[in-house]
Chains A and B, each alone.
Chain A
């Protein structure tokens, strides 16, 4: 998979590049809009990470121009402002995803990967991590055959985590997918719900599946 990063801040571009390379992607970096636009016109990329605030031609204008030229490569917008209206504007202009700065690199990598696959996260109807199963049609969760009683939020939270097994899900992504917030409303909702979910699925079990990666997010994994 080949990814283009258009980001003017050299340091940010550098660790994003490293993270993408760790994922096994081939990475090209441009530091301004015009060069980025030219590069995207020449090479067929699988995904583009595009910063909104760029010197000269800004990200939104680059995005609009790409779409006008008929280039439909999936684009993930990065923004320092992280405002609702900017996100809406970006998605309207043809972006496929949006991430406010500062972001969790692991999350950026996961999202770019999903964009490249285009299918996004797994669409299976029965999700399984070790002996934990979640049937998304009946909405039933079981650990080792014993049913787990979940609230609507806890169900959505578990589903989101289980659709991304072994991958760190950042607070922002959880707020977006589970609570439908495109900004941080300023509350520890995510933490308390994770705590409760952990009590329900991991209490008494020898193998703990729901992990906290402090400062970054949460993940469900089978590996020790």
Chain B
């Protein structure tokens, strides 16, 4: 439609502006020079008073009609942008006139309905899966503990039961991690949103890193760490920092070094945690955030862990509208950068 109007505008331009000008260039026959000059002036006026307004009208009308025609599409776009896992039940209002846009709205509504069903199923699945898995784990844990409580247990038996208890705990950690990631992936984990002094959390993480590092004679250094507040979930942010420190210490070489820094970064803040050590090859680096993925180094060096830490860490960063990236210079330094938006002074509040 807008194209048609634009064409009309161009046509009127042609008619009022170009055509008269061509006419005036034509040989004028018996007309005198003076008359010819008058005609030229008339034409100039005609051009000014009719051609330009017509052009403006055509362009303005075209713009208005285009807007009007695409407004429902814009509304649909806005609605699509607003959709999240909490408002899937809200349906968009339809015009009911059966045109393409009305049909599109209907399809959109059906899609959100189906999504809502899927989210519901994921909620139920995680609820049931953790319950179904944790109940036998609780029973196994309880029975092993009861056995271990017996005074007259022979040492080999005791060791076997203890080792099984360790496995039950490992399985529990995996079930917990998987449940969290499944729910997080579906956007179903609620996070607090309160002002958190990130510098304090980084200092605390440095202290924890120090105690983790001591057995491996790794040194931990805390660099720049100026007061800064972010909006978020204190406990999850602590978990993010602890996971990164834990990794940095694990993958540093014996006697190596871990550095922590909190740096302002253009409306955001970056927690930079780096460690010396063998580093990560590009092929491995591309996959480090995948659940259960563990690089060759972790197998050869017998590094403990269930392989979910970085997946969880990345989820936490992203759930805070931030990012988590890992870079590595093999043989030198591996650096994790968690970038989080800073709380603007106006946004700070309960």
Contact = CB atoms under 8 A, between A and B. Distances in A.
Interface of A: 9, 11-12, 15-16, 18-19, 53, 80-82, 84-85, 101-106, 151-153, 180-189, 192-193, 195-196, 214-216
17 contacts: A15-B145, A16-B142, A80-B130, A81-B131, A84-B235, A103-B141, A182-B235, A185-B238, A186-B239, A186-B246, A186-B305, A186-B308, A187-B242, A187-B243, A189-B212, A192-B211, A192-B212
Contacts of B207: 151-153
B347 interface: no
A223 to B, nearest CB: 13
Contact of B130 (A16, A81, A152, A196): A81
Contacts of A183: 176, 235, 239
A101 B138 contact: yes
Given A84-B235, A216-B148, A102 B137 contact: yes
B16 to A, nearest CB: 70
Main SS at interface, chain B: helix
Interface stretch (B49-57, B78-86, B165-173, B328-336): B165-173
Contacts of B130: 80-81
A183 B189 CA distance: 14
Given A9-B135, A15-B143, 10 more contacts: A18-B146, A81-B127, A102-B138, A102-B140, A104-B145, A105-B146, A183-B176, A186-B239, A186-B305, A195-B215
Interface string B153-193: 00000000010011011001100110100000000001000
A102 B235 contact: no
B85 to A, nearest CB: 15
A80 B312 contact: no
Interface in B120-149: 127, 130-131, 134-135, 137-146, 148
Given A84-B235, A105-B146, A215-B148, A186 B177 contact: yes
B141 A192 contact: no
> Which A-B residue pairs are the 8 nearest by beta carbons?
A215-B165, A80-B134, A102-B141, A102-B138, A15-B142, A214-B162, A101-B138, A185-B239
B286 interface: no
Contacts of A196: 211, 214
A85 B127 CA distance: 14
A53 B137 CA distance: 15
